[in-house]
Amino acid sequence: MSGHRAAGSPAGGTVGIIANPVSGKDIRRLVANAPTSTLQEKYTIVRRAVIGAVEAGADRFWFLSEPHGLCARATETLALDVRYGHVDIALRFDESDTVRTAAAMRDLGCGALVVLGGDGTNRAVALGWRDAPVVPISTGTNNVFPVHVEATLAGAAAGLVASGRIALEAVSRPAKVVEVEVDDEAGDLALVDAVLVDERFVGSRALFDPPALRLAVLTRAEPAAVGVSSIGGLLSPCGAEEDAGLLVRLAPAGAAPRRLRAPLAPGWYAEVGIAGCQALELGEPVEWRGPGILAFDGERQRALAPGQRARLRVERRGPRALDVAAALRLAALEGAFLADAARDGGVGLR
């Protein structure tokens, strides 16, 4: 870990930053109208998040190792009295890099994570660190779980929690997840939606064949979202704070009793057939049998063999997403940003 601390600065906290360099760059840029999240945009987001976290009390940072060196570039000209390091993992250049990095950041004592990506990136974080305290900044395509927030303030919230200036439990609660059990295989999870697709091969990970969708288990059914969550949201909304989930049965539009047009990607509406829709209690099981493909948070992930069972249930056992506004409000009420409560001076450039 490189960098240094200023003499006399208060004992700080450790923040992990996971910046997915490929989030916001999948096939949906070609077949829909999704915007591209550039490396330059992510670079400036990381930079602002680090500045905010330092102002709130963080003095150590661990970064995701990735080929573009986003975090190193973002911080190399910042005149900060802090220490930086990249998590030492053998890169595989797939989502397992994020999974293993999140687990390592837990073991390294990170008090909060700032995550740049979409639903899929945050799902990978949860696979590595199930109850991770996260500030998820939206830079992906399907962005139901992450939020649009100024990175400076996102970093400040992470720094406040990591440094112990405010309690994690006061500004967060566990997110809902879809717990997935598959016969004779390791378990899995989804943060927002788990979908059974009537196909045999994973192929392109993004979902772009509405007639092939058969079942969706949703932790959140958001009418103001894109992706599969919007299907449930336009039928029977179910928000992040509700202790329930939603099951939607789907069919080809021409063979279903009801049809719905929903935004399945930015700038792309599609017609889906609705065969049924019902609320799910937390822990209520839903069983699927193969053949088919299981897609989690908008991406095909696993193939089910004929007759192979998958059992799913919505539980509140996921990451703790920090409420940035609540964290800053609580810190303000407790005087955390007064000169006698924080390090003197601001953050400058070399």
The architecture in CATH of the region 177-315 reads Sandwich (2.60)
User: How crowded is the C-beta side of 99, counted as CA atoms within 13 Å?
Assistant: 11
What is the rounded distance in angstroms from the CA atom of residue 229 to the CA atom of residue 232?
A: 6
Predicted local distance difference test score (pLDDT) of residue 35:
61
For the chain, the structural domain boundaries read 2-174+319-349, 177-315
Q: What are phi and psi of 40, to 5 degrees?
A: -65, -40
Predicted local distance difference test score (pLDDT) of residue 202:
64
pTM (predicted TM-score): 0.90
Instruction: List b or e across 220-256, with b for residues whose CB sees 16 or more CB atoms inside 10 angstroms.
Output: bbbbebbbbbbbbbbbeebeeeeebbbbbbbbbbeeb
Residue 5 burial (CB count, 10 A): 15
Q: Is 222 left (phi over 0), alpha (psi -120 to 50) or beta?
A: beta
Residue matched to tokens 């330059």? 40
Angle at which helices 324-333 and 151-162 cross, to 10°: 60
What is the rounded distance in angstroms from the CA atom of residue 66 to the CA atom of residue 47?
A: 16
What is the rounded distance in angstroms from the CA atom of residue 158 to the CA atom of residue 114?
A: 7
Query: What is the residue-level pLDDT of the chain in tens, covering all 350 positions?
Result: 544 333 333 458 999 999 999 875 454 444 556 567 789 999 999 999 999 999 999 999 999 999 999 999 999 999 999 999 999 999 999 999 999 999 999 999 999 999 999 999 999 999 999 999 999 999 977 689 999 999 999 999 999 999 999 999 999 999 999 999 999 999 999 999 999 999 976 655 667 789 999 999 999 999 999 999 999 999 999 999 999 999 999 999 999 999 999 999 889 999 999 999 999 999 999 999 999 999 999 899 999 999 999 999 999 999 999 999 999 999 999 999 888 654 544 554 43
CB 142 within 8 A of CB 192: yes
Predicted local distance difference test score (pLDDT) of residue 143:
87
Residue of 165, 255, 277 lying closest to 210 (CA atoms): 255
Predicted local distance difference test score (pLDDT) of residue 7:
31
- Specify the fold of 2-174+319-349: Rossmann fold (3.40.50)
CB 36 within 8 A of CB 25: yes
